[in-house]
Amino acid sequence: MERNSGILMHISSLPGKYGIGDFGIEAYNFIDFLFNSNQKNWQILPLGITGYGDSPYQSFSSFAGNPYFIDIEEFIKSNFITKAEIKLYNLDSNNKTIDYHKLYENKYKILKMVYQRSFSEIENELKTFYKNEKEWLRPFAIFMSLKESYNGKSWLRWEEKYRKFNSIEVKEFEKKNQKELFFWIFTQFYFYKQWTKIKKYANNKGIKIIGDLPIYVAEDSADIWSNSEIFKLDEKLIPKKISGVPPDLFSQTGQLWGNPIYDWNKMKENNFSWWIKRIKHSFKLYDILRIDHFRGFQAYWEVDYGSEDAVDGKWVKGPGIDFFKKVKEQLGELDIIAEDLGYLTEEVHNLIKETGYPGMKILQFAFDGSPDNNYLPHNYIKNSVVYTGTHDNNTTKSWFEKKNDDNKKYILDYIKSEREKEISWEMIITAWSSTADLAVAPIQDFLALGSEARMNTPSTLGDNWKWRIDEKKLNKKLSQKIAYITQLYGR
């Protein structure tokens, strides 16, 4: 990896007039901003279709993209819908935060209207797209259509005849509901068409997209419904064990994620083929892939299904280096970042060394008073990625404000600064000046924003994933400031 830098901001946080950041003009404007700021990377969160809780880490499919990100302007230009019609759905009432309930209620209505009007014109394109992507798109389209017929209920609450993916009843449903299925194919056609254009635009400007791959898939997903044999489920297809992490810096009761656990032995028998397909698919979307919760490949924390928290669980051995050898054998050398945060053992460190992937260094975790802290810049190795904070952290400004006076003094002494009011920038400079090959900071830190701009607070529901940027903040003055420090520190 060459020495360079980038900015972390999810698509949903982009400005725009349709209730959420999307693949419209503002995405291209942000790429221009990155280019003018001398940045070589745009890091985003998972692009999957979201459900309850709105988390991009809990998606209805590992392969399908989020229809919320589809740019409606394309449909206006194609005369499939008018601006006046879109106005009736009131998506643009608040550009500061995302109202997911309103999006769910109204954006799908717009997309369905466009689908009905455009189908005869784009039918052949949709069929070609479906043929090329059928392996993942067929189960996804059937799953979402069935889910809609059950008013959004989890597949575990469907009638038994529909809970087995290739049952006679599911095949009958597929035959009788082609129109409904093709709506979901339509959403994926436009998602991939628009995203491919954005990625190409970024790449042509020398900017790489860093994507994010959650280690687990959601319980309520097409992945588990159509591949139940590779998960630890009982005879009624109810998960036996679910995922999480033990008590840590983020939570005293641990984090109960609730995702079903893989049956790694079954996966190994099949040469990890589902995972290989998933990673291969991810590299169509991204140039570099951050694998979330990397330590779970060495050993993962599993908890009994139905547990209220993640305290009473146990560590279970993961697939280890065998998995990554198979990935390399099948897909070659890949640009992967290992999200190696949390409770790390010598075995985890050894696995990361063996893969050769760069790990992550978080400056907000560095200042516990110990000079041996791995997150302090003087302990970095070049093959690593330094962040001021991630989407799970508070903004640097609010993180610092919550420290006591002694800790604040220690931080300022270490970063050789007296500019307490400029702490966000001072921490960015600390990251940019470090020896780590790649330095990344969330856009919130470049804007020196407080906790009102926090993206996610782990183990909480309701106020996450909603933040959006004010487009006026992405100005020439800011890009020049970023470009200057980037040039200064050889990134």
Q: Where are the beta strands (DSSP E) in 121-269?
A: 208-213, 241-245, 255-260
Q: What are the phi and psi torsion angles at 444 (to 5°)?
A: -60, -35
Active-site entry in 133, 212, 339, 426: 339
* Catalytic position from the list 223, 292, 426, 437: 292
Q: Which of 392, 401, 422, 471 is catalytic?
A: 392
CB within 8 Å of 120: residues ≥ 6 apart: none
Inter-residue contact 288 to 360 (CB < 8 Å): no
Strands (E), 333-453: 336-338, 359-362, 384-387, 438-442
Sorted by sequence, the CB contacts under 8 Å of residue 60 that are 6+ apart come out as 48, 49, 50, 51, 140, 143, 144, 147, 218, 220, 221, 222
Interhelix angle 346-355/321-331, rounded to 10 degrees, is 10
Residue 339 designated active-site: yes
CB 434 within 8 A of CB 378: no
Q: CA-to-CA distance for 212 and 392, rounded, in angstroms?
A: 13
Token couple for 378: 């003087």
**460: number of Cβ within 10 Å:** 10
292 flagged as catalytic:
yes
**Burial readout 108-117 (b: 16 or more C-beta within 10 A, e: otherwise):** bebbebbbee
How deeply is 168 buried, as exposed, middle or buried, from its count of CB atoms within 10 A (0-12, 13-18, 19+)?
A: exposed
Give the residue numbers marked as catalytic: 292, 339, 392
